[in-house]
């Protein structure tokens, strides 16, 4: 299974080589000598809306013409900078896959054969339709054959490995209070709707979604040829609603300290004695493990009550649906379409299915991602991009160190600890040094569901095999062809896949200003996660340990509370505001990222004035480069879901919120009192 990445780790966006021991000054690495050709500004003026004053809405000033002239295709819910690059990456991966899929007589067991046959197994809808639900019939038979709740606990553990969901999500990750070891964890799960609030919010939209979900469950039973779909749907909705009542909110689950609850396995019955933990852990392959970290203990307690109170037959009904649901996109066209109708159309506003080839690419990326990654890097990632990116990372590290030294609100003791953490950041750029081994995975050209199940089993076993062993610091949580970046607090690493290192984020042919505003701010963002409200709870070794003085921690909280209040005031729609508490970590990352990137950019000029390009000063290009990376357009249903569940603010407010706090932005665009983006100096938030 894939490791659950908690909200302490940035996964939807938005890294550092070698330590700079001189942390008291801004260290700037000289850029490589480039050809004597004029560098572009990196700003696409055709995207700008000059009818909008930059002082009032800088995001729409930079991106307004693009927003006004581009429509979202029916097979998408979002378009924008990230999504353009993802489309390009998909095209590049498609070319690699199709070359292999068109090749005859590939050696069985080779990586090439696995990629080709996995893609073929997905694209062969005729064979999938003919098979019906036969590929999951053995699982359904196992469910029907369960004799008691001890066997049910075993089923939960055994079948999570192959993709059948249950209320407990088991995973293996670094122990947050002992970063030298791996630990087993349990996270709350078990819901078919995106979040607990979808079960209880009485607004018309949520009531309609609940009705749609119940109808969807009934339809899935009917399409699978199973009896009593209407009654099953009511039972499943009632059971999930009980579970949802015990779920922690997204905001509560952000808290790294509250989530860390280690129990000796022998003491798990103090959380709930209604569940056979021994059977469950043995089925997961972790029967010898002596402890378990429970992220949401009150949920597990409530789950235990629900587990005991719910009949075995109702649990069987629940598992039958979730088996069908989890494999729907790999079964018949009818089940796939029904799954799309609810989860994509009703829930997210997507009007039509993505092309089959794009969905096939996603399947290959999800199961054989680093096989593709090796080829992708060779074709699409230039060595000079890694060299320049490495230099940018080090320049950002130096700027962060200088900024720490300048903080008036932080004591010398905490500054010293912050420098230790900064120097310990482990940057990963482009692609892993050690590629994933898929030799134990069997892929067949006519067995899509089996391929996915075997992939899950192999992945899960790799995780179990880590227990008791050393921490693998070479592995990546994303493939090189992923347009994203992340920070992992327990390894104190910042990771930048190759696919994001392209315009508008990173442009080898553009002047430094726009690169610092784009990828520089991304680098700073990921560094900022090491010092956000949750990442700052971890030390340089990745341990959940307080390294702050009480006075500094209180001063930090005053500033973060101000940031919460600022974002709470941003209205996405008349009836919906940004959730400042949910998005706090990402907002700190954004503000820190652009602030430190600007400092690094200015240091890179070595006291000289930046050249004016296309009538724009260096500072103006920097801020415009920052605003254009957040260019995004999203259908309303999808945007509403994002605001409810995503720890990132919508793109417009990621740009406006950070820049409204930066005095340098005010100077670059002559922002004055009375302008819409103006915040009084004493109310502007500066954290790092």
| Rounded mean pLDDT, 70-95 | 97
Spatial separation of the C-alpha atoms in residues 299 and 302, rounded to whole Å: 5
Same domain, 393 and 502: yes
CATH number at residue 298: 1.10.1380.10
pLDDT tens digits, one per residue of 590-612:
999 999 999 999 999 999 999 99
Number of domains the chain contains: 2
Instruction: Assess whether pLDDT exceeds 90 at residue 406.
Output: yes
Per DSSP, the three-state class of 543 is coil
Same domain, 375 and 501: yes
- The pLDDT-based confidence of 174 (bands split at 50, 70, 90) is very high
Same domain, 310 and 161: yes
Spatial separation of the C-alpha atoms in residues 379 and 96, rounded to whole Å: 10
Spatial separation of the C-alpha atoms in residues 402 and 604, rounded to whole Å: 14
Same domain, 374 and 321: no
Judge whether 12 lies within some domain.
no
Show the domain range for 326. Answer: 135-330
Same domain, 484 and 597: yes
CATH number at residue 673: 3.40.390.10
Confidence at residue 38, expressed as pLDDT on a 0 to 100 scale: 60
Average pLDDT, the chain: 93
Which of the listed residues 330, 351, 380 is the one where a domain comes to its end?
330
Judge whether 283 lies within some domain.
yes
Same domain, 530 and 582: yes
pLDDT tens digits, one per residue of 528-584:
999 999 999 999 999 999 999 999 999 999 999 999 999 999 999 999 999 999 999
Confidence at residue 39, expressed as pLDDT on a 0 to 100 scale: 74
Exposure string of 362-385, with b = 16+ CB inside 10 Å and e = fewer, is ebbbebbbbbbbbbbbeebbeeeb
| Rounded mean pLDDT, 383-410 | 95
Confidence at residue 36, expressed as pLDDT on a 0 to 100 scale: 37
Spatial separation of the C-alpha atoms in residues 562 and 566, rounded to whole Å: 6
Same domain, 661 and 522: yes
| CA neighbor of 463 nearest in space, from 483, 436, 488 | 436
- State the DSSP string of 198-234: GGT--SHHHHHHHHHHHHHHHHHHHHTT-S-HHHHHH
Instruction: Assess whether pLDDT exceeds 90 at residue 2.
Output: no
Judge whether 415 lies within some domain.
yes
The percentage of residues in the chain with a pLDDT greater than 70, rounded to a whole number, is 94
Which of the listed residues 308, 330, 352 is the one where a domain comes to its end?
330
Instruction: Assess whether pLDDT exceeds 60 at residue 10.
Output: no
Confidence at residue 13, expressed as pLDDT on a 0 to 100 scale: 52
Per DSSP, the three-state class of 196 is helix
Same domain, 266 and 177: yes
| Rounded mean pLDDT, 330-344 | 98
Confidence at residue 40, expressed as pLDDT on a 0 to 100 scale: 84
Judge whether 618 lies within some domain.
yes
- The pLDDT-based confidence of 136 (bands split at 50, 70, 90) is very high
Instruction: Assess whether pLDDT exceeds 60 at residue 3.
Output: no
| Rounded mean pLDDT, 376-396 | 94
| Rounded mean pLDDT, 94-102 | 92
| Rounded mean pLDDT, 448-476 | 97
Same domain, 304 and 426: no
- The pLDDT-based confidence of 104 (bands split at 50, 70, 90) is confident
Same domain, 547 and 627: yes
Same domain, 314 and 370: no
Judge whether 505 lies within some domain.
yes
Largest Cα separation within the chain, whole Å, is 77
| Rounded mean pLDDT, 67-92 | 97
Judge whether 388 lies within some domain.
yes
Instruction: Assess whether pLDDT exceeds 70 at residue 25.
Output: no
The 3-state secondary structure of 319-351, one letter per residue: HHHHHHHHHHHHCCHHHHHHHHHHHHHHCCCCC
Spatial separation of the C-alpha atoms in residues 533 and 130, rounded to whole Å: 52
Those residues with Cβ within 8 angstroms of residue 280's Cβ, 6 or more apart along the chain or in another chain: 153, 154, 156, 157, 168, 170
Distances (CA, A) of 35 to 38, 42, 69, 176, 501: 9, 17, 36, 47, 20
pLDDT tens digits, one per residue of 239-258:
999 999 999 999 999 999 99
Which of the listed residues 285, 311, 330 is the one where a domain comes to its end?
330
State the residue for tokens 């008791």: 468
Judge whether 340 lies within some domain.
no
Spatial separation of the C-alpha atoms in residues 246 and 297, rounded to whole Å: 10
Confidence at residue 8, expressed as pLDDT on a 0 to 100 scale: 37
| Rounded mean pLDDT, 316-334 | 98
Count CA within 13 A, CB hemisphere, residue 600.
35
Judge whether 448 lies within some domain.
no
Those residues with Cβ within 8 angstroms of residue 108's Cβ, 6 or more apart along the chain or in another chain: none
Instruction: Assess whether pLDDT exceeds 80 at residue 14.
Output: no
The percentage of residues in the chain with a pLDDT greater than 90, rounded to a whole number, is 92
Instruction: Assess whether pLDDT exceeds 60 at residue 16.
Output: no
Q: How far apart are the first and last CA of the chain?
A: 37
Instruction: Assess whether pLDDT exceeds 70 at residue 664.
Output: yes
Spatial separation of the C-alpha atoms in residues 532 and 297, rounded to whole Å: 25
Do residues 322 and 165 make contact, with C-beta atoms less than 8 angstroms apart?
yes
Same domain, 180 and 251: yes
User: At 311, phi and psi to the nearest 5?
Assistant: -65, 155
Q: Are strands 632-634 and 576-577 parallel, antiparallel or unpaired?
A: unpaired
């Amino acid at each position: 299974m894939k490791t659950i990445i908690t909200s302490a780790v940035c996964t939807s966006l938005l890294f550092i080589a070698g330590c700079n021991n001189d942390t008291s000054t801004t260290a700037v690495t000289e850029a490589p000598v480039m050809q004597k050709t004029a560098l572009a500004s990196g700003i696409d003026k055709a995207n700008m809306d000059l009818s909008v004053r930059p002082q009032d809405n800088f995001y729409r000033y930079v991106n307004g013409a693009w927003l006004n002239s581009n429509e979202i295709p029916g097979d998408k819910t979002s378009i924008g900078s990230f999504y353009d690059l993802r489309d390009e990456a998909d095209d590049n991966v498609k070319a690699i896959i199709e070359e292999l899929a068109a090749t005859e007589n590939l050696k069985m067991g080779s990586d090439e054969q696995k990629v080709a046959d996995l893609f073929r197994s997905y694209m062969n809808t005729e064979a999938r339709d003919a098979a019906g639900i036969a590929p999951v019939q053995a699982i359904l038979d196992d469910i029907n054959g369960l004799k008691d709740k001890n066997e049910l606990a075993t089923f939960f553990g055994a079948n999570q490995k192959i993709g059948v969901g249950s209320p407990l999500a088991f995973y293996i990750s670094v122990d947050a209070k002992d970063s030298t070891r791996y630990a087993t964890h349990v996270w709350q799960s078990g819901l078919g709707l995106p979040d607990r609030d979808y079960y209880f919010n009485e607004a018309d939209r949520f009531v309609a979604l609940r009705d749609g979900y119940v109808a969807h469950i009934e339809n899935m039973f009917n399409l699978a040829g199973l009896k009593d779909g209407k009654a099953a749907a009511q039972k499943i909705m009632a059971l999930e609603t009980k579970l949802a009542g015990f779920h922690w909110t997204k905001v509560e689950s952000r808290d790294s300290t509250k989530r860390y609850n280690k129990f000796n396995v022998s003491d798990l019955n103090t959380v709930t004695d209604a569940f056979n933990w021994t059977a469950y852990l043995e089925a997961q392959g972790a029967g010898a493990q002596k402890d378990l970290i429970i992220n949401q203990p009150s949920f597990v307690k409530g789950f235990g009550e629900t587990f005991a109170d719910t009949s075995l037959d109702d649990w069987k009904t629940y598992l039958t649906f979730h088996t069908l649901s989890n494999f729907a996109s790999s079964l018949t066209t009818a089940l796939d379409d029904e799954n799309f109708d609810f989860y994509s159309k009703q829930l997210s506003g997507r009007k039509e299915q993505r092309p089959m080839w794009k969905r096939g690419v996603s399947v290959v990326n999800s199961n054989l991602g680093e096989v593709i990654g090796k080829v992708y890097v060779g074709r699409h990632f230039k060595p000079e991009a890694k060299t320049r990116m490495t230099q940018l990372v080090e320049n950002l590290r130096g700027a962060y160190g200088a900024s720490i030294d300048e903080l008036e609100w932080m004591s010398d003791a905490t500054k010293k600890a912050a420098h230790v953490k900064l120097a310990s950041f482990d940057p990963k750029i482009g692609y892993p040094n050690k590629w994933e081994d898929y030799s134990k995975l069997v892929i067949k050209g006519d067995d899509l569901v089996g391929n996915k199940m075997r992939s899950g089993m192999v992945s899960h076993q790799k995780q179990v095999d880590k227990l008791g062993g050393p921490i693998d610091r070479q592995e990546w949580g994303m493939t090189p062809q992923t347009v994203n970046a992340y920070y992992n607090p327990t390894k104190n690493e910042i990771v930048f896949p190759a696919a994001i290192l392209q315009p508008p984020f990173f442009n080898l042919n553009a002047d430094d200003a726009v690169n610092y505003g784009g990828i520089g701010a991304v680098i700073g963002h990921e560094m900022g996660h090491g010092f956000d409200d949750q990442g700052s709870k971890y030390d340089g070794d990745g341990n959940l340990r307080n390294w702050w003085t009480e006075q500094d921690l209180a001063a930090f909280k005053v500033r973060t509370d101000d940031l919460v209040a600022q974002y709470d005031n941003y209205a996405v729609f008349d009836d919906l505001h940004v959730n400042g508490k949910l998005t706090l970590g990402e907002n700190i990352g954004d503000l820190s990222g652009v602030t430190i990137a600007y400092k690094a950019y200015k240091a890179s000029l070595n006291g000289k004035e930046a050249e004016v390009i296309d009538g724009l000063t260096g500072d103006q290009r920097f801020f415009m480069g920052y605003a254009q990376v957040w260019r995004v357009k999203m259908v309303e249903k999808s945007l509403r879901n994002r605001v409810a569940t995503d720890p990132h603010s919508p793109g417009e407010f990621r740009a406006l919120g950070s820049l409204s706090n930066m005095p340098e932005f005010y100077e670059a665009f002559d922002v004055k009192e009375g302008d819409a983006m103006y915040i009084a100096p004493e109310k502007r938030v500066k954290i790092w």
